[in-house]
Structure 1
Amino acid sequence: MNRKDFIKISSIFAASAFIPFSTAFANQTELRVGLIGVHGMGWSNLNALLKQPNVRCTALCDADENVLKKRTFELSERGIDVKTFVSYKDMLEGDIVDIVIIATPDHWHCLQLIDAVKAGKHVYLEKPIGNSVQECDIMVKAVDNSSSIVQVGQWQRSQQHFRDAIDFVHSGRLGKIRTVKAWSYVDWKKTIQQKPDIPVPEGVHYDLWLGPATKRPFNPNRFHFEFRWFWDYAGGLMTDWGVHMLDYALLGMKVSDPVSVMASGGKYADPNGASETPDTLSVVYEFEDFSIQWEHAIGISLGPYGRNHGVAFIGDNGTLVLNRGGWEVIAEKGKMEAVALQKPKDNGLDTHMKNFVQAIAKKDHTLVNAPIQVGAHIAVFSQMGNIAYRTGEKLYWDRTKRKFTDKKANDYLLAKYHNGYKLPKV
């Protein structure tokens, strides 16, 4: 199967999550990995990848020298010596890495992925893969035209209990499914208060951090983890968690594109807070004979079914509820037997990295469980919810033209680059 065939969304959603693992990597050579963005999830990704055989970290890159020094020291205490960079392009120029982990803010992903595959590197790319629909489309083309193996950080696609749950959904035992709910209730994250702009901290290369984003004074609210709540860099919980749970909603229903999407929400928890993205949001994706509903809330823990995140397939016979803690079936009275909670038996991130290394060892991009096409599609799908919220309209999606029927909404599909950066051409 070539890349042109593999890009077809229907086959991807039906099959890509269920590729089995092989048990050994015969004659595998050492793989050298470099990490771009070392502060948060990138550090977790690196440590999971280092658990795989014949993988060695040789480089770290971050625009904040303070966290870069911290991580370098932590690796040195484990006997791992690395070269450090503040510019990722300098890291890519040399022949010191075979794999690049990209875990920077979303607005950087497109440029860094394309530069990495042009340099012949394999890439583990954090989700969501891009900060606009236009970027996602370009990224798919770039990978499609390369020989790089690319795995997107939607690690649930490699975890067995998620697979088992979808097998049950596909068995038909739930009966006709009329509604699917997906959600994220983030009680551990509170709203952020307004803070004044300050001078750029020592050791922070702020221009390198901003990259193509709008030039603004340095504000701690927009830096490191908190970047997620500002449109310049990301899409809030809609894209941060939506790509995880909505991915499985689509996979379970064997669908890709909605007929329409509408959204309602706002900064209800703290109208005067510093964030731009909504702390409370409900989105309805309409399909021909069912709907998918997304909801999120910051500062609340009790979501649907008493879970702070998940996806629920609501059928005539019963409801299957799935999240990182396991899955169960709640039966409609007299229509089917309930299924007790099936807890996870593996580590999803570790298994995802094993799958990534296997694909590299076998030089077969079709083996990855979360290919760029899947990452792009669910990023676009999640962005639709944000666009519906920002326009305040019920939007209709033209699958063939890959745009809305509303011209105003289509403006939000485009990437807007600043500071001399240009959108890559592929």
Structure 2
Amino acid sequence: MNNSRRHFIKSASTLIAGAGLVSALPSTLKAAVAPSDRLNVAAIGINGMGWADLTSMLKNPAAQCVALCDVDQNVLDKRVAELAQKGIKVKAYSDYRKLLEDKSIDAVVIGTPDHWHCLQMTDACAAGKDVYVEKPMGNSIIECRSMVAAQQKYNRAVQVGQWQRSQQHFKDAIEFVHSGKLGQIRLVKAWAYMGWMKSIPVKPDGTPPPGVDYKAWLGPATTRPFNENRFHFNFRWYWDYAGGLMTDWGVHLLDYALLGMQSAAPKSVMAAGGKFAYPDDAAETPDTLTTVYEFDGYNIQWEQAIGIDGGPYGRDHGIAFIGNNGTLVLDRGGWEVIPEKGKMEAVPRQKSVDNGLDMHTTNFIEVIKSRNFTDLHAPVQVGALVATTAQMGNIAYRTGKKVYWDAADGKFTDRDANKLLAAAYHNGYKLPNIKA
């Protein structure tokens, strides 16, 4: 950005902060901002959360969309048309590398499947772009390290899409946890019971739909025949591209478990589960899983169950900080404290009052303007810690062992576990080996 644009964006930042939610800003304000003074944003991967992230970002008067990229021409055409209906004309790309060559683009949103995050984020940083990358930040522990190194080497603003970090009631809950009122916390539970997620029926291999560049979609993943089950949303349930519910919902909820306990890496991890609900369906990742992370003086426990809504404390997702005096239960709708008898006062449910995603994208835009990266709510270090923690759980499950982490060496003490530290890259792609 030139100096005049930076000056405007700083002024807009002050205005946004005074107005509260970006979504509440009058449309006349955005109309009053000259396009040349706005932040040029592009999005790579626009079928699901990438589109939601971009839509949220465009509520901000300091941002304008100038380009979209997707390997599914059907999705690309649809999104270009949707923007055109709002009077927004954008360039369309099927190859993200071509998009990154456009020097007028200031920032990119990455909403592609997990196995693409590392390459696209590191390439974007190298191209001088600031980045909003969906969670989980990396699809392996080694990828997370490369992504942290890329941010540091190229000095870019990188926000990870863990938007709960920007939601006020989550912040308030953690402030209460840190107050010490719960007493000694010996166990933290985080869980996702997803009743709306159903079995994936086995389907035969076929041919990609017209307009889909399947080779580009696979990228560094193992070459396999096209199968509808592995495409779009359901890629989450295959080890080639993602880590199941652990890296889908787990990174959101374990993030707050770690934040509440101010945790670094665990000492050990053990996990047990499997395809208990749907043993014969097409998914590879477990539908049922319990994982225990050991720390000094406390444990963090992860639970997941697909096809069931009845999670702990009557909630289908959440985090519970279980202390000697009481238990704080937190989810996306609010938080409350359930006291141990005679040890503390109950705190009635404190409901959510804001839009976490809008607050999160606003924070990203404000940091792009200020260049004060310490103000990011979910920087790469946060994204790397929780993605690494989730990957540790999956590694314990896949090896069938209790695995021990050597923090000094940055690896496990078990050979089989260390084989899963890095995701295998195929089709001529190479894992970025970036040193800060």
- Distance, in Å, in 1 between the alignment partners of 2:409 and 2:17 is 39
Residue 304 (structure 1) aligns with? 312
Q: Tell me, what secondary structure is at the counterpart of 1:302? A: coil
Structure 1: where are the runs of 5+ without partners? Answer: 1-20
Please give the alpha-carbon distance, in whole angstroms, between the structure 1 residues aligned to 2:332 and 2:43: 26
User: 1:336 and 2:344 equivalent?
Assistant: yes
Distance in 1, Cα, partners of 2:317 & 2:37? 39
1:13-412 matches, within 5 Å, as 22-23=17-18, 29-412=37-420
1:22–1:358: 8 Å Cα contact kept in structure 2?
no
In the alignment, residue 366 of structure 2 is paired with which amino acid? Q
Amino acid corresponding to residue 257 of structure 2 in structure 1? A
SS in 2 for 1:238: helix
Q: CA offset at residue 147 of structure 1?
A: 2.3
Alignment deviations for residues 364-410 of structure 1 (CA, whole Å, 9 cap, x no partner): 21111100011011100000000000000001111111111101100
**Shift of residue 425 of structure 1?**
2.4
SS of equivalent residue, structure 1 residue 166: helix
- Report % sequence identity: 62
Matched residue, 2:3: none
Specify the alignment match of 2:9 in structure 1. none
Q: Which residue of 2 aligns with 1:416?
A: 424
Q: TM-score, normalised by structure 2?
A: 0.91
- Please give the alpha-carbon distance, in whole angstroms, between the structure 2 residues aligned to 1:390 and 1:191: 21
- 1:120, distance to aligned residue in structure 2 (A): 0.4
> What is the TM-score with the length of structure 1 in the denominator?
0.93
In the aligned structure 1, how far is the partner of 2:151 from the partner of 2:382? 12
Give the 3-state SS of the residue equivalent to 1:274 in structure 2: coil
How far apart are residue 289 of structure 1 and its match?
A: 1.0
1:104 aligned partner, one-letter code: T
Q: Which runs of 4+ in 1 moved over 6 A?
A: 24-28
In structure 2, how many angstroms separate the alpha carbons of the residues matched to 1:370 and 1:200? 36
CA RMSD between the two structures:
1.5
Q: Aligned partners of 1:293, 1:371: CA distance in 2, in Å?
A: 24
The residue type paired with residue 231 of structure 1 is W
Q: How many angstroms apart in 1 are the aligned matches of 2:292 and 2:298?
A: 10
The answer to whether the 8 A contact 1:59-1:96 is kept is: no
The one-letter amino acid of 1:304's match is: P
3-state SS, counterpart of residue 76 of structure 2:
helix
Alpha-carbon deviations, 1:314-361, whole Å to 9, x = none?
011110000100000011111111000000111100001111111011
Q: Distance in 2 between matches of 1:91 and 1:357?
A: 20
Task: Provide Cα deviations, 1:188-214, integer angstroms capped at 9, x if missing partner.
Answer: 111201000011211000010000000
The Cα of 1:37 is off from its aligned counterpart by 0.5
Which amino acid letter does the alignment assign opposite residue 175 of structure 2? D
**Alignment check: 8 A CA contact 1:151 1:356 kept:** yes
DSSP-derived class of the 2:420 partner: helix
Match of 1:12 in 2: none
Q: Which amino acid aligns with 1:45?
A: D
Provide the C-alpha distance between the structure 1 equivalents of 2:386 and 2:79, rounded to a whole number of angstroms. Answer: 31
The number of aligned residues is 406
- Note the alpha carbon deviations across 1:145-196, whole angstroms, 9 max, x for none: 1121110000111111001000000111111111100001111111201000
Q: Could you say what secondary structure the match of 2:131 adopts? A: strand
